[in-house]
Amino acid sequence: MPDADKIQDAEFQVVGGGPSARRPWGIDLPMFLTLIHLALLANYLVPGLGFVLPVVMWATAKDLDPRIDAHGKVVLNWIISAAIYGAVFTVLIWVLIGFPLLIALAVANFAFSIIGAVKANAGTLWNYPGAIPFFRPVP
pLDDT at 123 over 50: yes
Contact assessment for residue 78 and residue 131, using Cβ atoms and an 8 Å cutoff: yes
pLDDT at 11 over 90: no
Q: What is the pLDDT of residue 106?
A: 95
pLDDT digits (tens, 9 = 90+) for 65-116: 999 999 999 999 999 999 999 999 999 999 999 999 999 999 999 999 999 9
Give the model's confidence band at 139: pLDDT under 50 very low, under 70 low, under 90 confident, else very high: low
Give the model's confidence band at 13: pLDDT under 50 very low, under 70 low, under 90 confident, else very high: very low
Averaged pLDDT, 125-136 = 95
Distance, in Å, from the CA atom of 16 to the CA atom of 66, rounded to the nearest integer, reads 10
pLDDT at 127 over 50: yes
Give the model's confidence band at 19: pLDDT under 50 very low, under 70 low, under 90 confident, else very high: very low
Distance, in Å, from the CA atom of 15 to the CA atom of 119, rounded to the nearest integer, reads 20
pLDDT digits (tens, 9 = 90+) for 22-55: 678 788 999 999 999 999 999 889 999 999 999 9
Give the model's confidence band at 132: pLDDT under 50 very low, under 70 low, under 90 confident, else very high: very high
Q: What is the pLDDT of residue 6?
A: 41
Contact assessment for residue 132 and residue 81, using Cβ atoms and an 8 Å cutoff: yes
- DSSP 8-state symbol, 67: H
Spell out the domain ranges in the chain: 4-121
Q: Is the sign of the CA dihedral 109, 110, 113, 118 positive or negative? A: negative
* CB-CB neighbours of 88 under 10 Å: 12
Q: What is the pLDDT of residue 22?
A: 62
